[in-house]
Structure 1
Amino acid sequence: MELADRAVGFLLSVMSLSIFTYYTFWVIILPFVDDDHFVHKYFLPQEYAILIPVSAGVALLCFLSIFVGVVMLKSKKKKA
């Protein structure tokens, strides 16, 4: 099982690094590149650079709140 854990960890690390690199290039470097440059076709419009992380954070907070609420309700039922 150790090899599978290492493979999953390596895959998650590569995915995280590639997403970080893509987002960093998109937000920090791309605004300084000319609008007619070919590299712009590989990236979404700049508005999504804020919209995507904010919506992902809101969804994460909603799911976390629902999970905590369900756990609290289940633990309350066990006590009664």
Structure 2
Amino acid sequence: MELADRAIGLLLSVISLSIFTYYTLWVIILPFVDSDHFVHKYFLPHEYAILIPVYAGVVLICFISMFVGYVMLKSKKKKA
């Protein structure tokens, strides 16, 4: 089981590093590159640089709220 946990940890680290690198290039480096350069076809428009993290944050907050509510309801039923 330890090997599987290490493999999952490595996979999550690689995915996180890839997302961080892509987003950093997209938001920080890409505005300084000419708009007719071929690299622009690999990135979404800049409006999504704000929209995607905001929507992801709202979804994350919703899931956390639902989880906390579920745990509170479950613990309330155990006391009764």
Rounded to whole Å, the distance in 1 between the matches of 2:69 and 2:19 is 31
Alignment of 1:24-63 (within 5 A): 24-63=24-63
TM-score, normalised via structure 1 length? 0.96
5+ residue gaps, structure 2, are none
Identity %: 85
1:7-48 CA-partner distances (Å, limit 9, x unpaired): 111111111111100000000000010111000000000000
Rounded to whole Å, the distance in 1 between the matches of 2:19 and 2:71 is 32
Partner of 2:2: 2
Rounded to whole Å, the distance in 2 between the matches of 1:76 and 1:3 is 38
Partner of 1:20: 20
Moved over 4 A (4+): none
Rounded to whole Å, the distance in 2 between the matches of 1:11 and 1:65 is 27
5+ residue gaps, structure 1, are none
What's the RMSD between the two structures over aligned residues? Answer: 0.7
TM-score, normalised via structure 2 length? 0.96
**Count of aligned residue pairs for this structure pair:** 80
